[in-house]
């Protein structure tokens, strides 16, 4: 039989989280962001739960092609635009909307031969200093695009760097970027898109932030963009990915016995340790802590316990003290939905490992079988 590890994609939870996004911005349209293979969930799996979106936003032409093959006929937005001039041929063929963030992309559009003019989103660098035109250069770029016969419509967008934290939380918030956007885009026609997941959840009471399109990303996948300040329960979000496995062995330790490479965990008293068929080659973070008192959270048969020792390539160990009935074959939830209604949000595992839920989702290894499940299935 195969190793007992698998990832479950909860399509009902994806649909719920999309509905939650839409509820927060009833007068705006919602992009479902499915970049990075739908944040590691698999594009085809995620599409089943997100097909009620107004459009899909991504980076890769191959993923755009796959969405069309799945039957999607609505808007698709390339968030980083065309990487080279020939990409515009695919934009024409697949009817893709695309971001324009640099002069070279406008030059390529001016040379592109197409029978169907393109919808473009002109991006402002409002302070994140990643992609986009500087405020002083935006109007000239808009004028160039607006004059091109290859362009049907110009929309305007930016991206917030600190929507998840305001000044009281150690961040800058969004006010300075919102002001820069409004000043640079004043009186320019076209639809607007500003809000990412954090802005949608925290700042959508402002019509200028909601604008015409919001870009829902991490919230769709059951992680909180501002954890630990707020959990998914606070935002009424549900986990969309469960990584689960089983115990394949149990070891009984005497005081002083150690666990795993480097002997980083030493038993202070007699205890049972379960060995789980999951390791860093499956996408579980190797740097997750397993020292006494600080072990990353894990569920065994739905009961919360903790990691002990260092994560290996194919295995990790857990403390069975809270679950004395557990033995080989017991179900282990690394993150997501557990048996009996138990839940371990991915944010908690990521926080313990010093990273973010985004990274754990995207790091799910190809060797882990993935399947979609509906409500109450598993």
Q: Hey, where are the domains in the chain?
A: 11-221, 241-373
Domain 241-373 fold is Lyase, Ornithine Decarboxylase; Chain A, domain 1 (2.40.37)
Whether the per-residue pLDDT at 207 is higher than 60: the answer is yes
Query: Residue 215: pLDDT above 90?
Result: yes
Q: How many CB atoms lie within 10 A of CB 294?
A: 11
Q: Identify the band that residue 176 occupies on the pLDDT scale cut at 50, 70 and 90.
A: very high
- CA pair distance 87, 149, nearest whole angstrom: 18
* 94-104 as b/e: b if 16+ CB within 10 A: eebbbbbbeee
Mean pLDDT of the 289-298 span:
93
What's the confidence (pLDDT) of residue 360?
98
Res 368 pLDDT > 70: yes
pLDDT band at 165 (very low <50, low <70, confident <90, very high): confident
Q: Which residues are catalytic?
A: 35, 261
Asked whether residue 169 carries a pLDDT value surpassing 90, the answer given is: no
pLDDT tens per residue across span 271-288: 999 999 999 999 999 999
pLDDT score of 171? 75
pLDDT at 377 (0 to 100): 52
Instruction: Kindly give, in sequence order, each residue whose CB lies less than 8 Å from that of residue 22, ignoring residues fewer than 6 positions away.
Output: 30
What mean pLDDT is predicted for residues 335-344?
97
Q: Is domain 11-221 in CATH 3.30.10.20, yes or no?
A: no
């Amino acid at each position: 039989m195969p190793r007992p590890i698998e990832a479950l994609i909860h399509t009902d939870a994806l649909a719920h989280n999309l509905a939650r996004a839409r509820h927060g911005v009833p007068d705006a349209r919602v992009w479902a962001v499915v970049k990075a293979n739908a944040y590691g969930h698999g594009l085809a799996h995620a599409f089943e739960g997100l097909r009620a979106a107004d459009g899909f936003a991504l980076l890769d032409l191959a993923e755009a092609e796959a969405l069309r093959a799945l039957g999607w006929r609505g808007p698709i937005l390339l968030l980083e635009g065309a990487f080279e001039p020939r990409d515009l041929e695919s934009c024409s063929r697949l009817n893709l909307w695309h971001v324009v963030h640099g002069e070279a992309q406008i030059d390529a559009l001016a040379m592109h031969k197409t029978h169907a003019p393109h919808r473009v989103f002109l991006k402002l660098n409002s302070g994140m200093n990643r992609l986009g035109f500087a405020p002083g250069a935006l109007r000239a770029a808009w004028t160039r695009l607006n004059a091109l016969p290859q362009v049907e419509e110009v929309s305007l967008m930016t991206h917030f760097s600190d929507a998840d934290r305001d000044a009281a939380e150690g961040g800058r918030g969004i006010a300075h970027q919102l002001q820069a956007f409004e000043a640079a885009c004043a009186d320019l026609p076209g639809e607007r898109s500003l809000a990412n997941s954090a802005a949608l959840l925290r700042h959508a009471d402002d019509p200028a932030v909601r604008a015409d399109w919001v870009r829902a990303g991490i919230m769709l996948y059951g992680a909180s963009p501002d954890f630990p300040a707020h959990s998914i329960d606070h935002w009424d979000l549900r986990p969309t990915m469960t990584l689960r496995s089983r115990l394949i062995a149990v070891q009984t330790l005497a005081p002083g016995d150690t666990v795993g490479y480097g002997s980083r965990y030493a038993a202070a008293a007699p205890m049972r340790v379960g060995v789980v068929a999951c390791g860093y080659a499956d996408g579980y973070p190797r740097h997750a802590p397993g020292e006494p008192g600080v072990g990353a959270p894990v569920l065994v048969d739905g009961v919360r316990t903790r990691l002990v020792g260092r994560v290996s390539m194919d295995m990790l160990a857990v403390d069975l003290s809270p679950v004395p009935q557990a033995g080989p074959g017991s179900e282990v939830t690394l993150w997501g939905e557990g048996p009996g209604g138990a839940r371990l949000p991915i944010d908690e595992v990521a926080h313990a490992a010093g990273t973010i839920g985004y990274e754990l989702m995207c790091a799910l290894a190809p060797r882990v079988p993935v399947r979609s499940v509906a409500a109450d299935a598993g």
